[in-house]
Structure formats: C-alpha cells, structure tokens
Structure 1
Amino acid sequence: RSRITMPQELRNRVLIAAGALCGLALAARAARAARQKASRASACIRVAVASKEVHAAVNDAVARAMNAVVTGHVAPSLVADQPVDLEQTLRGARNRIWHVIGTTEAMENYDMVVGIENGILRGGTTGAGAGEDGGGDVDEVWLDFSVVVVRDLKTGHEAVTSSAGLRIPSSAVGAWAEAGCEGTVGEALADESGCDPTDPHAFLTGGAFPRAFLLEQAVCVAVARLPSRSEVPVSDSIVSDA
C-alpha cells in the first residue's frame, strides 16, 4: 500500500500553526484568569479603621465584614477615655474618623473609613429593691458597647450602629468611679479578674464572643445600612456631609 507523505515545508507550517493555536489558547486562558483576579481585586475595597489602638483582630474583623483591604490608624477620640453615654461614644467615633481624614496622606486611595469607640451605658437597676416598693438589694445594670460609624468617602454617606450591649459587673464600674474615673472600666475589670483590659467581652462570655466578633457583626449591619453607590451621586469631596 502506498503512503501519502506530506512535504516537509507543509509539515512545518502545520506544526507552526498548531503551536500558534495552542499559544493563543493558553494566552486566552491566562487573560481570563487575569480578568477574574482583577474583578475580585476591584470588589475588594480599601478601608481605614480609626480606633484608640491598632488591633490586628479588630482589623481582621472589619476586613471580613467588608471584604476589604484594611489599614489601622491610631486616632484620638477627643472625649473621655471612658465615654459614659451614647452621645459621647458616638462623638468619639466620629472624631476618630475626621482625624484620619484630616491627617492621612493619599486619603483619596481609600473607599471608606470606619470609626470605633467603646462606651458604657447605665441601663437601670435590678434586684429585689428595684421595684416601686423599694427595699432589698439593688444592683445597677451597666452595659458595655461599641459605636461603629462607617463613612463612604466616595458619596459622603454615613451609617451608624452599635455592637451588642454586654452587661459588665457593677463592681468594676464602682472601682473605676472610686479611682476618679481614670482609664476605662475594662481596665478596672482587668484589675479584678486578670482579663485582657482591651477585650473584657471574651472574659465575660467565656471566650464565646470576643470584642472582634461583636465588632464584625456591627460593621456588617452598618455596611448594610449604606446606600448603594449606584443610588446616590458620587461626591467630589471625601469630607462632604450626608
């Protein structure tokens, strides 16, 4: 049987064409991967977190909640070390945001700023003597909470929420008050219990709900309250008011 042989020149052309097709296929695959990576990167926003101290656990919590690249910034609250009501705590969180906006270089590279301030709130009394008749033992109810403010620097809109309030021992509040209200109630509780003064929440919940976890939930709620950028005009100023 006779065999049909392909001229060497034609064979070379076929091999070159096949190689080119393979190269195009690989290039297309690489381009798709690059587009997917770029898409994921564009969905990942840049966020500045303004707080009393830079805590990796808190930054990680914000990053998870917002799918963001997070940079921590130490920012003063310009309120008492231990805010005692909602108004003061909210003011502290906002002051931290404006400090970061006013002092950070290349702020235009950020999409949002998160301000965090921890406070305590007197919720009333409990015990046998807490009713109308009085008498008996009365224990004050104090709640520890954080105010979270998320500001969209592209639109100027702001969302405010709080973490879940956690009851703290009135003895720690009393010790803090007797010390002249210096420092924080968390530090007073740490003196009593040996817990982490920056995370008494973990101690009070047996490790179930550390501060970072509670903040992550609060940030998620705040972000959900922000209007979509497609729904509002984009502001040219990162410091415009909502």
Structure 2
Amino acid sequence: MEVVYHEMSQNFYCHVDSLDTQVLHPLGHHEQYSPWVPLEIYFEVSRNYSFFDRDLSQDGTLTLVHQSEVQVRSYEGKRIDACWFGTRNEYVRPYLSQVLSFLKIPEDMHSDLVETIIDRGIQIRNLDSKKGPKVLRMRVGIKKYHDWIRCEYCSKEKQLERDALIKKTLKRVRVVADADDVNEVEGGQGRKRRRVVRESEVCSICLEEFVVGLEDLRSMPCTHVFHENCIWRWFERSHLNCPICRFEIFIERGSQDEGDIRV
C-alpha cells in the first residue's frame, strides 16, 4: 500500500558545544595586554524526520515507525571577540541573526536561538578563557525535527487510485489451444483485437500452465503474460515492474499536496 503521511509539527533544537582550543603562542606585545578573546563558531544544521503510526488498539498511541537524520547546511563563522557575549555587545545579535538567515532558519526563530548561543558562549568563555591566551572554538548544532503521522484514509485512497491506473495499463489475454493458428485468432473479423497465448505456455510467477478458456490472464506493456492474481501479488510485494524483464510501469500522478509525503 502506498502510505501517505501528514506533517504534525516542526520544532527547532539548538545545542552548543565547546571544541578543542588553539593556544596562541608565541604571543605578540599587543596580545599580551589585550582583553581580546578570539572565538570561532562553527554552525551545523540538520533535519530529523520521524514517522509515526497510530495504534488504534491502544487508545490512539503513536508508534514510531521510522526515523532518519540528514545534515543540510554548515557554515564556518568569522573570528569574533568572545568578550562581546558577556557584555551583550550590540554587534553580536545582528551578526548571529545574519548567519541564521544564511542557514535558512525562519526569522521568527532567530531571537530564541540567538539567546541560546549567547548564554552558552558566555559559559564557554568563562571556563576556557582563563586557561591562558587561546582561540576558543564553539560548535552550534541546530536541528529541525519533523514529525509525520500516517493517514489511514489517504493511504487507502491513494492505493485505490494506484490500482485503477495499473488496471488501465494491463491488457486482457486469451488462451488458445496449441492446434489453433494464433495469427488467425488475433486478427479474426468482427472481434476486438486481444493478445493471445498458447495453452502450453506457463505463468512465470506460479509456473502453472495456462488453460484454454481461462479469462484471468493479464499482459504487461512489455508483452509478458501472467495470471491476474499472480501479477497483483507481485505488485504488492515488489515494485511496479515485470518479474521477467524488469520493465517498470510508469504511473502519472497528480501533484502532491503540500504538507504531505508518500512512501
């Protein structure tokens, strides 16, 4: 069945880590007496996708079906003064907001994320800057969580739509006796042209011979013929392709609704 998921929610989470620092050695005259504490910030943005199924037997409890995570963007910021975090320097917020915009983070999320980065940056500066002159390094990991839930109604609807399109693609086939002339049967006057096969041929899925008078045969667009039940079971367990030559059925679908995903 073609499963359709609707997105339930989106949430952002920001985690800030302290990376290995680089000692400034030897120190220049200016560096020995300057309050400057150089800080390098690395930004990483990833997305986490969680797919849930509603367990009706347990009062609608959501069951996690699948989860995946991908990193979508990264950015190495320029070196700034870590002391600006402590004083909430007017330069810090616009700079961080500009980086978040570059990373395509929604503007309405900037304020909370910037405050999280600044608060964690103050902690890292207070702990590491007292250990001697060095370049502090900080990694800002921003993760966007997408939660999706399977829609029972839409899944069944898409399955019916898919089955209807497949039925239009498959052609009915007649079985004729070995003694019959296939060309004559195919081109008989007053008859609708239909693909025919001899009774000595077999279905490649169940390996049973075709029987004269059998009306449950279907031909793929690649001309390979199978029992109707056999080929439908194949479609349910596999992709929409021929079991013999792997010819793939192409089904033209309408545009996918925004906020939905099919798997």
TM bin, normalised by shorter chain, reads under 0.3
Say which structure, 1 or 2, has more relative contact order (CA 8 Å, 6+ apart): 2
User: What TM-score does the superposition give when structure 2 sets the normalisation length?
Assistant: 0.25
Q: Higher helix share goes to which structure? A: 1
For the pair shown, the structure with the greater C-alpha radius of gyration is 2
